[in-house]
A and B are shown apart, each in its own frame.
Chain A
Amino acid sequence: MNIPGKTEKVANDKLREMQCEFNPLSRCDGSVMYCQGATVVISAVLGPIEVKTQNLSIDGSYLECNYRPKAGLPQVKERIREAAVRDVLELALLSEAYPRSKMSLQIQELEDRGSIDACALNSACLAMLIGGLPLKCSFAAVHCIINDQGEYVLDPDQRETVHQRASFTFAFDSLEGNLLLVQTKGSFKIAEFNDVESLCRSASAEIFRFYRNNIANYHCRRPEGQKTSEDNMET
């Protein structure tokens, strides 16, 4: 790996640091640059817009979802990722609001250093929220692996995924915490699956809090639970 030294190690049961920047692009309705650790993706949404007649549906909007890798054309791996994002979005999107129209979502990978699936999903959700497209609920995705010592590593860095026994990606909705997506790879026991699921579920709460704080910040409102000094002065 070309990154020299080691980025500071995050505890196994913690997510890496999340950051996001809203509307870095000017040509779309909403865009977000989202990073988790050193993994960076950029997502852009456009909609509702005109739809081709072949994709037209009279009782809901058509969802277009594209994922572009950093180099080369999208291969099978990218198509699978794209399909996962589309599946989750189709569940979360309130498509009845705009029939005979198209919602377009584009995801561009900028740097893949682990749990890119979860990052792509989270950035897609943020882009939909900031672009003002109708959603039934927001969603958060978490990636977790079981390494060869049998430890659960939440949101692993790419270096840690080399020694993995099993890998899981879960997506949860924000209303009731229902599972929207489960992707598993490798061998594991049912008990382990349940453990990992509850671990990811608790981590998803942190992601939802991150969404809320950042969007509130963007729209010039104080994130919950924080009081600025100005506020104290006023009161």
Chain B
Amino acid sequence: MFMNTGLFEPGKTKTERKFVQQAVKQSQRLDGRKSGESRNVEITFGGEYGSVIVALGETKVMAQVTCDMGTPTTSRPNEGKLQLFVTLAGVSYLDSVQKTHDKRSLTLNSLLERTFRTSRCVDLESLCVASELHVWCIRVDVNVLNHDGNLYDASTIAVLAALMHFRRPDVTFTDGELRTYTEKERDMIPLLFLHYPVSVTYCIYTSNFQPFVDPTLLEENCADSTIILSFNSYQELCTLNAGGTVPTDVRTIMQCARSAANRCKAMVTFVRKALDLDEQQRLQGSTRKYTGMLGLMAKSSQKLSFRTLMKGEQKQEQQQQHKSEDMDIEAEARPSAKLEECVAENVENDQPAQEEDLRMDASGWLPQEAEPEPIIDLTKQGPGKPKRKRNKGNKKKQPQSS
């Protein structure tokens, strides 16, 4: 009787797909961004420690960190626990009768698990109070408020910011007695980090060899394959998630990886700056009202946004771009048999210098062979060894095909 219009997602129909593919072919995006341009990121901190809302364009994700005492697992008796929970239900209306829901929540969950738990970014040993008896259990709840594409980046930024913002109460363990101090008695303690990972998402289409960073929901649903890369601030790869149907060559992925590494580094710097500003505001609290989540309202004057906070640094980047512009043209004119048309178009369309430039910029930091291993076989994930062999084969083939 009723069409579920509210639940119907953009990018699921053939016409929409066709339209997006055509736009992509001309390296155009609906919101006027260039292929290597991200949406603005805004962070709002709540009144409590460890409560953060991240807005990536229209996508909004809330992360809340809580902690309590628990017992460690027997296999790791001197390590605290870090648990991540993702909720798609609620105001985002993503849980209702949708086929894609399961896949989406699973992907998001596994991405967060790998980015934050498997990469061991939080120093869990520092969360141990008494070995085999008492450890801190850190729980991160990720609530999706609105989904307009790129839930992955928004959630990783939110989780990282929430973990960095979080403070736990001090605790002592003497003579078998556990004592927790309130904030008035002793200062709260921030978590210790080993590194700071953030992810960057790219969409790849059959009609254009160029990856499109930070897709909207329409672009994401129309994409032929999606690549998610997590890097930490030291530009080390933490997670790589690649899926879809486009045969992606090593170069594309390397290109993604290099620009992602830079983006992640900038993002971590931004989160740090935002945290500093938040701390300053808290300290000023006696003279001025601390707003907390009220900062979300449109009227509020001070917003911690990526564009405003990183203005100075982006200028520096641009200067670097100018230096290496000559090299760009070389890189841009990379011959590719099937995609010659696209390349020609791209040159005309005055390609974003940024991305190409990044390719040259950071060419030193990744060994050329180490990276492509897990990537090429996008369709199926076989067992480790045979896959490697296949990959090597692919690598040899590629120069011939291109």
- Interface residues of chain A, those whose CB is within 8 Å of chain B, are 1-5, 7-8, 19, 21, 24-29, 31, 33, 35, 38, 40, 42-44, 46, 48-50, 66, 68, 70-72, 100-101, 104, 106-108, 110-111, 113
Contacts and interface: CB of A to CB of B under 8 A. Distances in A.
B139 interface: yes
A108 B61 CA distance: 12
A31 B91 contact: yes
Given A2-B183, A27-B147, A19 B299 contact: yes
16 contacts: A2-B49, A4-B283, A5-B285, A5-B290, A24-B146, A24-B296, A26-B58, A27-B147, A48-B2, A49-B2, A50-B2, A68-B89, A72-B139, A106-B89, A110-B46, A111-B46
Contacts of B91: 25, 28, 31, 42-44, 68, 106-108
Nearest to A70: B64
Contacts of A27: 6, 92-94, 146-147
A113 B6 CA distance: 32
A35 B290 contact: no
Contacts of B96: 104
Interface in B288-327: 289-294, 296-299
B299 A50 contact: no
A38 B294 CA distance: 7
A46 B294 contact: no
Interface of B is mostly: loop
A8 B89 contact: no
B337 interface: no
Contacts of B381: none
Nearest 7 interchain pairs by C-beta: A4-B285, A5-B285, A5-B286, A44-B91, A111-B293, A40-B293, A71-B64
B90 A25 contact: no
Contact of B93 (A3, A46, A50, A100): A46
Contacts of B183: 1-2
B297 A113 contact: no
Q: Which of A49, A100, A104 has the most CB of B within 10 A?
A: A49
A152 to B, nearest CB: 25
A74 B169 CA distance: 24
The interface centre, meaning the residue of A24, A26, A27, A38 with most chain B CB atoms within 10 A of its CB, is: A27
Contacts of A44: 91, 93
B148 A3 contact: no
B66 A71 contact: yes
A108 B90 contact: yes
Contacts of B285: 3-5
A1 B184 CA distance: 9
B370 interface: no
